[in-house]
Chain A
Amino acid sequence: MRSFRALLAKEIRVAFRGRHLVGVGFGLAIVLSATLGFSLAGTKVGERVIASLLWIIVMFSSSDTLSRSFAKEEDEGTADQLRLRVPMPSVFLAKTLANAFFVLLIACVVFPLLCFWLGVRLSALPLVGLLVLIGCPALSFAQGFVGYLMSRGRALSAAYPVIVMPVILPLLVCLVLATSQALAEGTFSINLVVVIISESLAALVAGLVLVPYIEEE
């Protein structure tokens, strides 16, 4: 548990010191939100479109932070040290949780910007905020294991979005549906939230179980 906490703290520290999260993650989120805000200025944008834009920007801005984090350990030669000292499922969990935190931070940038530029009703904000709180860790858990797999092969990083997208698409669709309901009707289907939580937890647990088997290779 102590090594897990230390690893989680290290992940967060390293991400803030490095250039990728701030430069690419936040940068991409702001540029994409501003571009879309400018492109759609003066037009009436439906709730479904706003919800889709929100989650697509969050997903693309944070898509490769996790696989990059695993790959960095391999590149710097620290991965073997890590394997010797900490059980691999703990490493996987720490990196996935740190990534969930980064995705949430990126969403905290994208969400107010989009709401401001696209004129979202203020009354819908608490519910959408709740969905962002549920959805960001869910997205991170769902793509965690694929991010880990991608770091195992050299040629795979370029294909990451193509390979991870189909796995998280059902989750993304549920998030878009729930968010658009929250924006339009001020409520959302609890079934959608159940699907979001159960699918992401299933992916996280499967990842934790499978990591040692992949490590054997």
Chain B
Amino acid sequence: MLFGRILSVLTPLTMIPSIVYCLMFTPKEATMGDLYRIIYFHIPCAWVATLAFFISFVFSIAYLAKRKPVYDSIAHRSSEAGLVFCVLATITGSIFATYTWGSPWNWDPRETSIVFLLMIYIAYLLLRWLIEDRDKKAAISAGYSIIAFLATPFLVFVMPRITSSLHPEQVGGLGLTRPMLYGVFGMLAGFTFLYLWILSLSQRFDMEEI
């Protein structure tokens, strides 16, 4: 409860100044101009999605070890939140790709990876939806979440490195200056608090139901 209240204050306190700073005070990028500013949303969305899936994985292990419903609820709600941020990362990435690479979708390894991640967590939610018994649902979906997360390091870290990519960090770096990096870190903090706030709210509803 207290954690939720703290986050309800911290989230706007970090997000609003960060958004204003990123959109109004950071310099234009040399080649892309103002277009690059979408990375202030794209990078935090991708980061929060990965964090959310990791938290879902950790709480799935915790559920199988301790069998506490609260752990299942956190794993489930974290996956849902991760899926939303993953969709947002895909959309912002596609907008960026349209203007820089000429097409919204190029089957770049990172684009392919994000589609696979979306499919994994849609399948996870489908699995939960198909099982009615609460304990069975929690145990089976925890098992699936753990095995699905094992694929994530291969998708996020390995695949883009063993195949050629159009992504900036693979073709000469992002080229961000210090003020731009401050903006990115501010947004990362803001999005992380937003995710934790969403998680604490949705998990509280679950606990009231139980």
**Is the Cβ of A199 less than 8 Å from the Cβ of B154?**
yes
Contact (Cβ within 8 A) B140 A166: no
Enumerate chain B residues within 8 angstroms of A210, measured Cβ to Cβ.
64, 143, 146-147
Q: How long is the Cα–Cα vector from A152 to B144 in the complex, in angstroms?
A: 12
Total interface residues in chain B, CB < 8 Å: 32
Secondary structure type dominating chain B contacts: helix
B147 touches A217 (CB 8 A): no
Q: Which of A82-141 contact B (CB under 8 A)?
A: none
Given contacts A173-B112, A173-B159, A217-B135, A146 and B126 within 8 Å (CB-CB): no
Contact of A159 among B65, B130, B135, B146 (CB under 8 A): B130
Determine the chain A residues whose CB is within 8 A of the CB of B65 once the complex forms.
213
A214-B64, A217-B138 known; 11 new pairs, CB 8 Å cut-off, are A145-B147, A146-B144, A156-B131, A156-B140, A159-B127, A167-B120, A169-B119, A206-B146, A213-B139, A213-B143, A216-B67
Please determine whether A192 and B147 come into contact, CB atoms closer than 8 angstroms. Answer: no
Within 8 Å by CB of B150, from A153, A169, A203, lies: A203
Please, how many residues of chain A have a CB less than 8 angstroms from a CB on the other chain?
31
Q: Are B162 and A203 in contact (CB under 8 A)?
A: no
B123 touches A166 (CB 8 A): yes
Residue contacts A-B, CB under 8 angstroms, 25 given: A153-B131, A153-B136, A159-B127, A159-B130, A163-B126, A165-B119, A166-B116, A166-B122, A166-B123, A166-B148, A169-B116, A169-B119, A195-B154, A195-B158, A202-B150, A206-B146, A206-B150, A210-B143, A210-B147, A213-B139, A213-B143, A214-B139, A214-B140, A216-B139, A217-B136
